[in-house]
Structure 1
Amino acid sequence: MTATEAALWPLFLFAVAASYSPGPNNIMVMSTAARLGLPRTIPMAIGIVAGFGFMVSVVGIGLAVPLQRFPSLVGVMRWAGAIWLLVLAWKIGSAPGGTNGSERPAMGFLAAAGFQWINPKAWIMAVAAAATFVIPGHGPVASSLLRAAVFAAVGLTSIASWMLLGLGAGRLLATPGRLRRFNIAMGALLAASVVPAVLE
């Protein structure tokens, strides 16, 4: 096993644990798939993976340093993310128990990609990966791109799993009343995910 491979394994395990655990991205994808099905969830899911991969690469290349110099900017971004998550939680929780076929997801590709920059869990993951997992024999840019590639690969499988879980839940919750209760539960979970961000 090469030094690069030896360094990538711990990163891979970290990416699996971080990506598969519940968080704003996974809850939104699961809820959208349950309500609207896979075709209308896929753009959001791909946006999440692409946006977070880009974020990991940019943070690793050097964005973390200026953010450490200006901690007030981090606070502003954290609160902006918390407010936006609460808005999304309200939209999900107040969604009707059925769909007329024209309902749109809370976010499309670009919005989901951009959302990563105010997603508290995404920031924690990106900064932790950049600070913890150094790839021997690679400069900052190459290391950041390798980290981003690992997160993108794991993220695709993670987000697909949450989409399929949501699709299965949607089939089990075929009646409007059950789907309405599911929407309320998903909205509450998303709102609860804000708590660690604002208390940190």
Structure 2
Amino acid sequence: MTWDNLAPLVVFALVSTVTPGGATTLVTASGARFGYRRSVPLMAGITAGLAGLAAAAAVGLASLILAAPSLQLAMKIAGSGYFLWLAWRIGRSGAPDLKTEMATPTGFAGGALLLLLNPKGWAMALAAAASFAMLANGPLQLAVLLGSVLGLASAFSLSLWCLAGLMLAQMLKTERQWRMLNVALGLALAVSIVPMWRQ
């Protein structure tokens, strides 16, 4: 496989993963509040979730899910509830207290769940599988290719958003500034469910 054949998939993966949405907002908030190192499990969960969705789409599971309206509705309801719960947690938090470890960041399982309950993620993975199926010799090879490329793109993009959160945290000096940032990020996460319901 040549770079010319792979380049469109790489561009698709980077654009799809770097654009703002629920996952990027959550990672930005985690970076601001907990730092890069403590946000790694969350980013790893989101990355694994996206790679898994891409692989599942390549072998045909996403088309089964998208063909079942009742399952789609259940995923939308569960996903929206999870996003809103995370948004509420972010919006209510204040400045991080570096002397205590009481607050814990969302971990690997929470990050993976974020992707698995997001019909938009399934639709994006199915679009990638349909658009780039000719790059592989069968579903298993396509699953490895899509999972790898989208996973790597996700890890890169989420790292950028986490670092943006770290930079925001360095600019915040007062409890009020932290509250304003957390409310803004919580609202952004809550609003990110709107496209899920427009499909």
In structure 1, what is the equivalent of residue 19 of structure 2? 21
Aligned partners of 1:137, 1:20: CA distance in 2, in Å?
25
Q: Which runs of 5+ in 1 are unaligned?
A: none
Structure 2 Cα separation of the partners of residues 137 and 149 of structure 1: 13
Counterpart in 2 of 1:132? 131
Deviation sequence 1:87-144 (CA, Å, 0-9, x none): 1111111112332532111x21122123211124322321211121123451111012
Gapped runs of 5+ residues in structure 2?
A: none
Residue 104 of structure 1: aligned partner = 104
- Preserved CA contact (<8 Å) 1:67 1:74: yes
Contact 1:34 1:169 in 2 (8 A): yes
| Identity across matched positions, percent | 35
In the alignment, does 2:163 pair up with 1:191? no
Q: Which moved more, 1:80-89 or 1:118-127?
A: 118-127
1:115 and 1:136 mapped to 2: Cα distance? 28
- C-alpha distance in 2 between matches for 1:172 and 1:138: 50
Compared CA separation, residues 144 and 7, structure 1 to 2 (3 A): farther
Matched with 2:35 is 37
Q: 1:136/1:51 Cα in 2 relative to 1: closer, same or farther (>3 Å)?
A: closer
TM-align CA RMSD:
1.6
1:62-77 map, 5 Å: 62-77=60-75
| Range moving further from structure 2, 111-120 or 165-174 | 111-120
What is the one-letter code of the residue matched to 1:104? Answer: T
Kept in 2, the 8 Å contact 1:120–1:197? The answer is yes
Which residue number in structure 1 is paired with residue 86 of structure 2? 88
Question: Does 2:146 align with 1:147?
Answer: yes
**Per-residue CA shift, 1:132-170, capped at 9, x if unaligned?**
112345111101210111111111110110110000001
Q: Distance in 2 between matches of 1:83 and 1:118?
A: 10
What number of residue pairs does the alignment pair up?
Answer: 197
